[in-house]
Amino acid sequence: MFEFFLHLSPLIGINIILAVSLNLINGICGQFSLGHAGFWAVGAYTGAAYSVYGALPLPDELNLIISCGLGFIAACVAGLIIGVPCLRLRGDYLAIATLGFGEIIRIVIMNTDAIGGPRGFSGIPKWTNLFWVSLFVVITVVIIANILRGTHGRAIISIREDEIAADSMGIYTFKYKTLAFVIGAGFAGLAGSLYAHYTQFLHPNGFSFMFSVIILLMIILGGLGSITGSIVGAIILTLMPEVLRFMGETVSQWRMVIYSVLLIALMLLRPGGIFGKHEFNPLTLFKKKGEEA
Amino acid sequence: MSTPILETKAITMRFGGLTAVDNFSLKIGKTDLIGVIGPNGAGKTTIFNMITGIYEPTEGIVELNGENIVGNRPAFITQKGIARTFQNIRLFKDLSVIDNIRLAGHFRVDYGLVASIFRTKKFHAEEKRLEDEAMELLKIFGLEKKKDHLAKNLPYGEQRRLEIARALGTKPSVLLLDEPAAGMNPNETKELTKLIRWVRDKFQIAILLIEHDMKLVMEVCETIYVVDHGVQIAHGVPSEIQNNPKVIEAYLGTDAE
Ligand SMILES: Nc1ncnc2c1ncn2[C@@H]1O[C@H](COP(=O)(O)OP(=O)(O)O)[C@@H](O)[C@H]1O
Ligand SMILES: [Mg+2]
């Protein structure tokens, strides 16, 4: 059991980074993106390509940091290229466009022989461990939380609240939508590189649209707009398949159905997700209702 | 009249076959308090939307300090000095009262993303300034005790006040108020009447007020423009407007509210 958890915990951390970064785009900025698996893939393959083909003669730890940095930068660039045209769209159209781009990324990878194409990319060194994942989770959460508690973060939130009002307050809404999108994509890329150096094997099918939906489920479960919610959502949905597997094969096969039922139940009982838009903070638990900010 | 700070020159807005505003011209001097009245659907909000860049006029120009601002983004126009409120309040509902005001100061903030991530000295200094300025405005509007409440939890009248305070947070030279008394009871409307005049005197800015409620406009405004079906049918001081038969017919006659 302990070993099992040890295996799972880096994946939990990676999913936390994915969920928090998607939440920045979807829940905090209010731009409905369904392409997160694509940015994850860009980071994973970039980081893996570095360590397989170009790793410098440095200690593994430094090389991991470099490959995560490269994954971050590559995904930021992809986020910029995809975000600029897509973020002019709204709502459903934005969701469909980002979904399309996510799939395009996957198909491009599928057809690039140097990184394994449909055979998958193997021979990636195992550099990621629980320590590095935890460190990057903390870095991601601190950076995003700090941004949110500054003027740029408030501008990002104001777009979700009311884009027309934000514009009328002198806030360049397109610039901040793009900023949120690019930062969110970048951290997904970082998570990708961590993932590549953990599983040591990448296959394009692992980065399909379905996984974007699962990350989306994590943030909806935790509450769109709540960082702590995303963390909890990521933990629950990473453990869920394992718990279901534990309950037997038939239950496990009905996984997506169980998710759907859970999601419907959540929407009926707590439409805002577990935490709504708020953060879990023990200090504010005792404040009177209506006083919370 | 002193030289106008804001001037619209024959602005026209067409939506497909519908001409919502037809050749509308107006001039506002530095500290004028001007009203635009007209029945529902007359085109008043559309005029505001053209001035603030939410719509681009089909024809005509809008000049701020003699400079044509047509074709710019609303954010740019706000930064140039025109702030507004909305007919159906548009606050950042899930943000605190003070964050609503802080956002009005956003475009003047002088620190970058990196400073925000690393919490530099400059970050703290600028945040302090933002907060102080926001608190000052909240005090003026009697909202300082509610600074940490979510905007959506304020009573209606206070939401209206907060929206005006937030608009002033951008430090405008012209303030546009779109039906600020809508949904208010007679008492609140009376308070608002005082507040509007007081804001003009205190901040020394020009105010353009849209109202549907004749009484408020008659009491507050020095000059009134009357629009009906997108066309300006009268223009003058309140007493002239009150006795203008065209206004009585088009406005009061058809839509006495
Ligand atoms: N975006 C739009 N598209 C089409 N018609 C519009 C639009 N905005 C306003 N209108 C029309 O323009 C006219 C004037 O509307 P509006 O300016 O809101 O009036 P008021 O504020 O005086 O009540 C109305 O007939 C309205 O239906
Ligand atoms: Mg209107």
Q: Is A233 left (phi over 0), alpha (psi -120 to 50) or beta?
A: alpha
**CB-based contact A171 B103, cutoff 8 Å:** yes
Structural contact between residues A117 and A110, judged by C-beta atoms closer than 8 angstroms? yes
**CB-based contact B94 A154, cutoff 8 Å:** no
pLDDT in tens, chain A (293 residues): 667 777 788 999 999 999 999 999 999 999 999 999 999 999 999 999 999 998 888 898 999 999 999 999 999 999 999 999 999 998 889 999 999 999 999 999 999 999 988 999 999 999 999 999 999 999 999 999 999 999 999 999 999 999 999 999 999 999 999 999 999 999 999 999 999 999 999 999 999 988 999 999 999 999 999 999 999 999 999 998 888 888 888 887 888 888 888 888 888 888 888 888 777 765 554 444 444 43
Q: What is the ipTM of this complex?
A: 0.92
A277 lies within 8 A of chain B by CB: yes
Residue of B nearest to A290 (CA): B149
**CA nearest ligand 1 atom 6, residue:** B15
- Which residue did the predictor score with more confidence, B243 or B61? B61
Across the interface, of B73, B106, B169, the residue whose CB is closest to A155 is B106
Q: pLDDT (tens digit, 9 = 90+) per residue, B156-176? A: 989 999 999 999 999 999 999
| Domains (range + CATH), chain B | 6-92+172-252 (3.40.50.300)
The predicted structure's pLDDT at residue A1? 63
Among A143, A149, A168, A283, the residue to mutate for chain B (most B Cβ within 10 A): A168
Q: Which residues contact A41 (CB under 8 A, 6 or more apart)?
A: A105, A106, A109, A192, A202, A204, A207
- Ligand lying nearest the CA atom of residue B88: 2
Rounded (10°) angle between helices A2-23 and A209-222: 90
Please report where in the chains the tokens 């200690």 appear, as a residue: A59
Ligand 1 surroundings by CB, under 6 angstroms: B 15, 18, 20, 38, 40-46
How far away, in angstroms, is B90 Cα from ligand 2 center?
14
Q: pLDDT (tens digit, 9 = 90+) per residue, B105-150? A: 999 999 999 999 999 999 999 999 999 999 999 999 999 999 999 9
CA distance A212 to B166: 38
Chain A nearest C-alpha distance from B79 (Å): 5
Residues of B within 8 A of A179 (CB-CB) are 113
Residues of A within 8 A of B115 (CB-CB) are 150
Residues of A within 8 A of B93 (CB-CB) are 161-162
The predicted structure's pLDDT at residue B222? 92
- Is 50 exceeded by the pLDDT of residue B208? yes
Say how many C-beta atoms besides its own lie within 10 A of residue A269's C-beta.
7
Q: List the 104-133 stretch of B: residues with Cβ below 8 A of A.
A: 104, 106-107, 109, 111, 113, 115-119, 123, 126-127, 130
